[in-house]
């Protein structure tokens, strides 16, 4: 495990790699705590404590200063009496004992004994001298709330360079307004309306009130404002069918499939020409805002729409075998498009800025105040897992949470009313090292995309999410950027596992073998889920693999500092690919999608030919 670091208030940063009681008098303090980070260089410490010299006297002076500073934060040969928050536990080091205190409600101090006993204690505890004890506060630095308020956390604005890219020629079918939210979108033409603006500034980042239902509207906006837009059907290379409904209700029904296809053939009679369709059919794009219960026309199997590409914000729906189960044997290409993030440029993504070395970005903020954060509610398919996470976060001073989040439906009027929710959630993500992303009503969530783009390492609990966005990056890119923790590992044998946590794979899938290569520590986990084992057998195997629940903070603390830095670089690599930019001036999700559609002609023909669905 890599070394940890903590800033004792006003005294700089120390590093110990998990010292035991026998080492405590002459070592530095090892742990990552709110308001500090393990990668802070030694030169950030006070000059007396970091001045390194070839002379013995200078080295001795530095050691003396370090010891004095250490004693003002952690007390050697001193214990505390009374104020027990809960029963004592066995820990490997005083640093582990302090971390336990940090995630116990009411714990203000700890005492660690030479025999490994760890006592979590309240403010009512009193100090006493004992050569076999080490004691100290839950945090050497300020508590998270105070640290977050005081730290200079604003990210600098660094504009993304326009690359002069020239994409494919685009064509938009001029469908009547009734095909878009039953006419309600007719007046939504400005960037603020489409993307959920005007944006608010959160720690130096422009945050938009964008939700999942805005995605088709954003794609439509980008096509209409593209410099590559054409009205010439013959020169066009990608064709958008701008039909969508944010929710299938009596007030906003999906477009009638027969009406839609009849109108399209009236607008473009070439759709009846088999030769033209064979060439241009795969270049058409249908889109839907929802993860499941998509509009009927998305499932049209007849030519010419059999060949068209599809996108929506989730391919998993409620299927236990994930994206492959959704698209298996379908005659068309269906990509999972990213949920709209709260960031749309034109600056570099927060993920890129947070991964940059401080030497290259002098305005970069101080380390993350929170080790991890959770935003959301306790409901959904993985409701029990969410409740476990909320409970641990609520009692953990190292966790930031936002639980007051209203449901969104995509109405234009919602933009201004949702700013507070989006701003609070974004603030937590920008101040956290890890962001937990449990399944909700469906297997993935918008919060996952926000975490990636904002530079907070997502903690993934469902294996179906490990290979989703195939049009934008592969499973290995994703593995470099996220932390995978199986749901069963947190719940143990007694915890009810969700349909996703015990889900299997498509029988012909090569994904399990690929995931075992990317996550070798969970090889037995993936083997336990192999088809055709029934769910009862899979759940029993998972209970045997994970008999006892583990706390999330213990798992996060075990992640080496070097691995955290690597994952932040991984986020910086994939984050721009998930952004829906305000225009086509830099590489983003829309540009990548268009590139895939143009390149997929042979694959689309193969899918249509091999599918048994007619």
For the segment 115-143, what is each residue's pLDDT rounded down to a tens digit? 999 999 999 999 999 999 999 998 886 55
- Is the pLDDT at 45 greater than 70? The verdict is no
Write down the pLDDT at residue 454.
97
Residue bearing the bigger pLDDT, 332 or 363:
332
Q: Average pLDDT in the 434-444 region?
A: 87
Q: Are 301 and 330 in contact (CB under 8 A)?
A: no
Domain residue spans in the chain? 5-141, 170-341+589-610, 354-577
Question: What are the structure tokens assigned to 558, written together?
Answer: 């075990």
Block residue for tokens 């926000």: 450
> 211 with 415: CB under 8 angstroms?
no
The tokens for 141 are: 């630095």
Higher pLDDT, 257 or 238: 238
| pLDDT tens string 278-293 | 999 999 999 998 877 7
CA 276 to chain centre: 42
**Domain at 5-141: CATH architecture:** 3-Layer(bba) Sandwich (3.50)
Q: In sequence order, what are the residues at sequence separation of 6 or more whose Cβ sits closer than 8 angstroms to the Cβ of residue 598?
A: 168, 237, 238, 283
Work out whether strand 432-437 and strand 370-375 pair parallel, antiparallel, or are unpaired. parallel
Per-residue pLDDT band at 420 (split at 50, 70, 90): confident
Which pTM was predicted? 0.79
What does the buried/exposed string (b/e) look like for 507-535 if buried means 16 or more CB atoms within 10 Å of the residue's CB?
Answer: eebebbebbbebbeebeebbebbeeebee
Closest listed residue to residue 297, CA positions, set 340, 338, 332 = 332
Question: Among 38-52, 503-517, 564-578, which is the least confidently predicted range?
Answer: 38-52
The model's pLDDT over 77-124, given as tens digits with 9 standing for 90+, comes to: 999 999 998 889 888 889 889 888 887 778 899 999 999 999 999 999
Q: CA-to-CA distance for 343 and 580, rounded, in angstroms?
A: 8
Candidate from 13-17, 19-23, 65-69, 554-558 with smallest mean pLDDT: 13-17
CA-to-CA distance for 60 and 84, rounded, in angstroms?
Answer: 39
By C-alpha distance, which of 564, 553, 556 is closest to 394? 553
Q: How far apart are CA 601 and CA 493, in angstroms?
A: 48
pLDDT in tens, 148-173: 444 446 888 888 888 888 999 999 99
- Mean pLDDT of the 173-179 span: 94
SS3 (DSSP) at 121: strand
Asked whether the predicted pLDDT for residue 301 surpasses 70, the reply is: yes
Mean pLDDT over 494-512 rounds to 85
Q: What CA–CA distance (Å, rounded) separates 596 from 32?
A: 42
What's the CA gap between 156 and 352, in Å, rounded?
11
Range of lowest pLDDT (3-7, 105-109, 534-538):
3-7
* Helix or strand holding residue 6 (H, E): strand 5-7
DSSP 3-state percent helix, strand, coil across the chain (nearest 5): 40, 15, 45
Which residues in 82-98 are b (16+ Cβ under 10 Å) and which e?
A: ebbbeeeeebebbbbbb
Q: What pLDDT score does 63 carry?
A: 44
Contact (CB, 8 A) for 153 and 431: yes
Binned at pLDDT 50, 70 and 90, residue 411 comes out as low
pLDDT of residue 414: 52
What pLDDT is stored for residue 247 in this prediction?
67
Out of 6-10, 17-21, 555-559, least confident range? 6-10
| 570 has a pLDDT exceeding 90 | yes
Please give the residue that has the higher pLDDT: either 495 or 248: 495
Fold of domain 354-577:
Rossmann fold (3.40.50)
In b/e form, how buried is each residue of 63-78, taking b as 16+ CB within 10 angstroms? eebbbebbeebbbbeb
The per-residue b/e assignment along 360-395, b for 16 or more CB within 10 angstroms, e otherwise, is: ebeebbbbbbbbbbbbbebebbbbbbbebbbebbee
Q: What is the pLDDT of residue 417?
A: 53
Give the residue, 255 or 574, on which the prediction is more confident.
574
CA distances to 40, 173, 410 from 176, rounded to whole Å, are: 57, 9, 20
Of 346-355, 493-502, 523-532, the range with the lowest mean pLDDT is 493-502
| Cα radius of gyration (the chain) | 27
Find the DSSP H helices in 431-471: 446-454
Looking at 24-38, 481-495, 536-550, which range is the least confident one? 24-38
> Which of 5-19, 89-103, 187-201, 351-365 is most confident?
187-201
- The whole-number pLDDT of residue 103 equals 78
Return the pLDDT at 613. 82
With 0-12 / 13-18 / 19 or more C-beta atoms within 10 angstroms meaning exposed / middle / buried, residue 146 is middle
Q: What is the mean pLDDT of residues 550-554?
A: 90
* Tokens read off for 357: 């070395």
CA torsion angle 201 203 204 210 (round to 10) = -50
């Amino acid at each position: 495990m890599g070394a940890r670091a903590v800033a004792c208030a006003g005294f700089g940063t120390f590093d110990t790699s998990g010292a035991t009681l026998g080492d405590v008098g002459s070592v530095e303090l090892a742990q990552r705590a709110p308001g500090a980070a393990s990668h802070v260089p030694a030169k950030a410490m006070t000059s007396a404590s970091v001045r390194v010299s070839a002379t013995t006297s200078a080295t001795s002076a530095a050691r003396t200063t370090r010891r004095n500073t250490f004693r003002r934060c952690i007390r050697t040969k001193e214990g505390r009496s009374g104020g027990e928050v809960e029963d004592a536990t066995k820990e490997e080091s005083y640093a582990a004992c302090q971390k336990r205190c940090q995630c116990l409600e009411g714990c203000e101090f700890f005492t660690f004994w030479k025999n490994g006993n760890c006592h979590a204690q309240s403010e009512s505890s009193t100090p006493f001298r004992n050569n076999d004890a080490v004691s100290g506060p839950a945090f050497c630095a300020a508590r998270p709330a105070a640290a977050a308020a005081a730290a200079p956390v604003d990210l600098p604005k660094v504009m993304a360079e326009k690359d002069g890219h020239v994409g494919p020629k685009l064509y938009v079918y001029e469908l009547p307004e009734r095909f878009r939210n039953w006419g309600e979108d007719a007046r939504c033409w400005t960037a603020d309306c489409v993307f959920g603006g005007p944006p608010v500034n959160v720690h130096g980042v422009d945050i938009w009130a964008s939700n999942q239902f805005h995605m088709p509207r954003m794609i439509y906006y980008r096509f209409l404002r593209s410099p590559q837009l054409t009205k010439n059907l013959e020169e066009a290379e990608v064709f958008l069918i701008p039909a969508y409904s944010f929710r299938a209700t009596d007030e906003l029904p999906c477009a009638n499939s027969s009406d839609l296809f009849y109108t399209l053939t009236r607008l473009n009679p070439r759709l009846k020409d088999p030769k033209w369709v064979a060439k241009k059919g795969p270049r058409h794009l249908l889109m839907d805002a929802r993860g499941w219960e998509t509009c009927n026309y998305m499932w049209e199997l007849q030519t010419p729409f059999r060949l068209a590409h599809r996108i929506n914000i989730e391919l998993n729906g409620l299927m236990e075998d994930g994206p492959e189960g959704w698209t298996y044997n379908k005659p068309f290409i269906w990509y999972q498009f990213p949920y709209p993030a709260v960031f749309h440029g034109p600056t570099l993504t927060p993920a890129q800025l947070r991964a940059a070395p401080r030497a290259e970005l002098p305005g970069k903020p101080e380390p993350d105040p929170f080790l991890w954060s959770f935003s959301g509610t306790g409901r959904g398919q993985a409701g029990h897992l969410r409740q476990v996470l909320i409970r641990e976060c609520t009692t953990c001073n190292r966790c930031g949470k936002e639980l007051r989040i209203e449901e969104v439906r995509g109405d234009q009027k919602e933009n201004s009313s949702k700013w507070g929710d989006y701003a609070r959630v974004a603030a937590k993500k920008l101040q956290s090292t890890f962001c937990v992303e449990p399944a909700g009503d469906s297997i993935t969530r918008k919060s996952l995309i926000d975490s990636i783009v904002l530079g907070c390492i997502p903690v993934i609990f469902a294996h179906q999410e490990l290979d989703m966005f195939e049009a934008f990056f592969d499973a290995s890119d994703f593995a470099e950027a996220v932390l995978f923790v199986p749901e069963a590992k947190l719940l143990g044998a007694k915890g009810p596992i969700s349909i996703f946590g015990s889900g299997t794979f498509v029988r012909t899938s090569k994904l399990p073998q690929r995931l075992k290569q990317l996550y070798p520590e969970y090889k037995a986990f993936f083997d336990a889920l192999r088809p055709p084992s029934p769910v009862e057998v899979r759940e029993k195997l998972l209970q045997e693999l994970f008999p006892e629940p583990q706390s999330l903070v213990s798992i996060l603390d075990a992640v080496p500092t070097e691995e955290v830095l690597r994952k932040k670089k991984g986020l910086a690599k994939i984050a721009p690919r998930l952004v829906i930019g305000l225009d086509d001036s830099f590489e983003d999700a829309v540009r990548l999608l268009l590139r895939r559609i143009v390149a997929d002609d042979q694959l689309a023909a193969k899918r249509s030919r091999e599918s048994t669905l007619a």
